[in-house]
Amino acid sequence: MKIKYAIAAFAALCSICAGAQKYKTIDKSIAVVGNELITVSNLEGEIQMMRAQGQASDRTTRCTLLENMMQSKLFLMQARLDSLTVNSDMVEANLNDRMAQVRTALGGDEQAEAYFGKSLYELRKDWKEQLQDNSLIQQEQMQIANAIPEVTPYDVKQYLDTADVDKLPVIPVKYKMSQICIYPDRKKAKMECKERLLALRERIMAGEKFTTLARLYSEDPGSSRKGGELGMASRDIFWPAFGDAAMALKPGSISQIVETPDGFHIIQVLEKKGDMFNARHILLKPKYTVEDQEKAFKILDSLKTVIEKGDASFEMLAFYRSEDPATRTNGGQMADPATGSAYFEIDQLKPEDYAAVKDLEVGKISAPIASRDNEGRDGNLVYKIIRLDKIVDAHTATFENDYTELLGVVKQQKQMEAIDAFLDKKISETYIIIDPLFGDCDFSRKGWKEKVRK
C-alpha cells in the first residue's frame, strides 16, 4: 500500500537523535553566534542524517555543515529582531507528521521513547523548537529575497549584455500540443473491482485465510508478500478513510469495502494501541479491458480521419467530443498544470505522450494512445490523440524569445546577491566565536576565518 508519507525517510530522523545521544556525555560548544550556541551534538546529528541517507562524510563535510548552521543562526537572530512570527499551524502539522512517522518506524510509543532515551513529551518539545526555528529562518530568507527591487526589462537586457555567453541559460527543446481524450467506463470498472473484493471478503468470512488471499490477490506489493500485514503504525500515516475504518474495527473483524486514492481495500485489524494499529489489508484496483481500449481507439481514429479530411477542425471536435474538462474548452490545447505554460520540456511530458509525438511533424496528429491524466497521485487512464502544434528547438536564451525565463534567472540572481550581502554584513558585525578545531576549514565566506578563537 502506498501511504501518505515515506516511512523509510525517517530513519534519517532517528539517526539524528541517536547521534545527539551518542555525544551527550562529551558535548561541547564549537561555535557561538550572537546568543546562539552550536554544539558537537548538533553537528554530529547532521552527520548522522547524511550517513543514514547513504552519503559519505569527512572533515570537509563537517566544515560545510558548520558554516550552514552558523548562517542559519544569523537568519534566526534577524527574524527575531524583525519580530517575525512562527507559522504555528504549519509547525503543528509538521510536528504531528514527524511524530506519527517516527512512532510508526519504531513500532510504537514505548519503542520510540526507549530508542531516543526521552519521553514523547520531551521529543515533541525538542522537535517543536526545531520546527519553530526553521519556520522563522525560512520566513527571514524569503523576506530578504522579496525585498529586492522589481526586476525590469532593463535589468534583463543588462544581464544579457554583461554575462559570459557560455554561461547564458540554454532553453531546452519544447513542445506545444493539443489533445482529444476519451475515458474508459470508470464507473463500470469500479463496480467490477468492488464485486471482486466482495467475493474475497465472503471467502474470508467462510473460513479461508486472509493472509493466503492477500498473498494471491492483493495489489499492494509492499504488504502482499507478508499476507497483507502493514505493521504497527499511526493512523495518521494512512489515507484518512483507511485510518478511520481501521480504528473503528475490533481486533479480528473484517471491514466493509474502503475506498482511498490507491483503490479499494478490505481491512482486518490485528492489534490496537491508542491511535496506532497493526492491520492486514487486501488492495484491488479498477481494471480496464481490451474492449475498453478498442472502443476508444475506434472513436479516436474516426475523429482523426474527419480532421485530416478537413471536414471538421481539431479545435471543434476537442470542444464537442473530448472528455477532458481541463483542455476541451481551449480547443484541446494542453498546459503544464504546475506552471500553466503551453510549452512542455521533455521531462515534463508523460512517457506515453512523448513517445507519441517525438517523431511527429508539426501539425500532424498521433495514432490513438493510452496515457494518464493529471488527476490524483498517479493519474487516471485515458485514451487520446495528440496534435503536435509547435516545436521550439534548444537554443541559448534571447531577450526576444525567452524574456520570461530570463526574468526568472535575473530575479534569482539578485535574490542570491541580497542573501550574500546580508550574510557578509552580519558576519562582520555579529559577536561570533568559532572553536580552533575548525580553524583550518575552507569556509566559503572569508569573514568566518576572522572569528576563529586564537
Write down all domains in the chain, each with its CATH number in brackets.
7-150+417-451 (1.10.4030), 174-183+289-393 (3.10.50.40), 187-284 (3.10.50.40)
* Dihedral sign from CA coordinates of 21, 22, 25, 26: negative
Q: Where are the beta strands (DSSP E) in 274-380?
A: 276-284, 343-345, 369-372
Over range 23-39, report the average pLDDT. Answer: 81
Rounded Cα distance between 80 and 91, Å, is: 17
> Is 116:17 a contact under the CB 8 Å cutoff?
yes
Three-state DSSP state, 449 = helix
Q: Which of 22-36, 75-89, 348-362 comes out lowest in average pLDDT?
A: 22-36
Please tell me the predicted confidence (pLDDT) of residue 48: 66
pLDDT of residue 12: 39
Could you tell me which residues are beta bridge partners of residue 269? 279
Average pLDDT value for residue range 96-120:
82
For residue 414, the tally of other CB atoms under 10 A from its CB is: 16
pTM: 0.69
Q: Tell me which residue has cell 526568472.
A: 408
Least confident segment among 112-126, 276-290, 302-316: 112-126
Grid-cell match 473460513, residue found: 207
Contacts 24+ apart (CB under 8 A), 313-316: 314/178, 314/180, 314/365, 314/387, 315/178
How far CA 303 is from CA of 184, 266, 352, 384, 388, in Å, comes to: 17, 42, 20, 11, 16
- In the beta sheet, which residues pair with residue 385? 180
Q: CA nearest 318: which of 437, 442, 177?
A: 177
Question: So what's the pLDDT on residue 5?
Answer: 35
